[in-house]
């Protein structure tokens, strides 16, 4: 195998590797975005639990009713 063939093969393999890594990276970023949204929902649920512990269940029920209106 001559040097030009080795270089061409290596370039081809590297290009394929870069494309695969880009797809994986984009999937990771998408997963982080979904995780961020999920964590925000969990955070709000925790705030509701904390409020119900501090102020009681009745306060939380009235607060949610006022939010819905």
Label residue 63 by pLDDT band (50, 70, 90).
confident
The answer to whether 26 and 38 are in contact (CB under 8 A) is: no
Label residue 59 by pLDDT band (50, 70, 90).
confident
Number of domains in the chain: 1
Q: How many helices (H) and strands (E) does the chain have?
A: 2, 0
Q: Which domain holds residue 64?
A: 3-68
The answer to whether 60 and 48 are in contact (CB under 8 A) is: yes
The answer to whether 67 and 59 are in contact (CB under 8 A) is: no
The C-alpha atoms of residue 48 and residue 28 are separated, in whole angstroms, by: 30
Cα 31–chain centre separation: 4
Give me 41's structure tokens: 């929902």
């Amino acid at each position: 195998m001559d040097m030009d063939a080795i270089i061409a093969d290596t370039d081809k393999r590297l290009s394929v590797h870069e494309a695969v890594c880009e797809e994986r990276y984009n999937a990771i970023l998408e997963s982080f975005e979904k995780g961020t949204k999920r964590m925000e929902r969990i955070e709000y649920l925790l705030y509701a639990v904390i409020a119900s512990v501090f102020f009681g269940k009745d306060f939380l029920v009235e607060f949610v009713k006022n939010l819905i209106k």
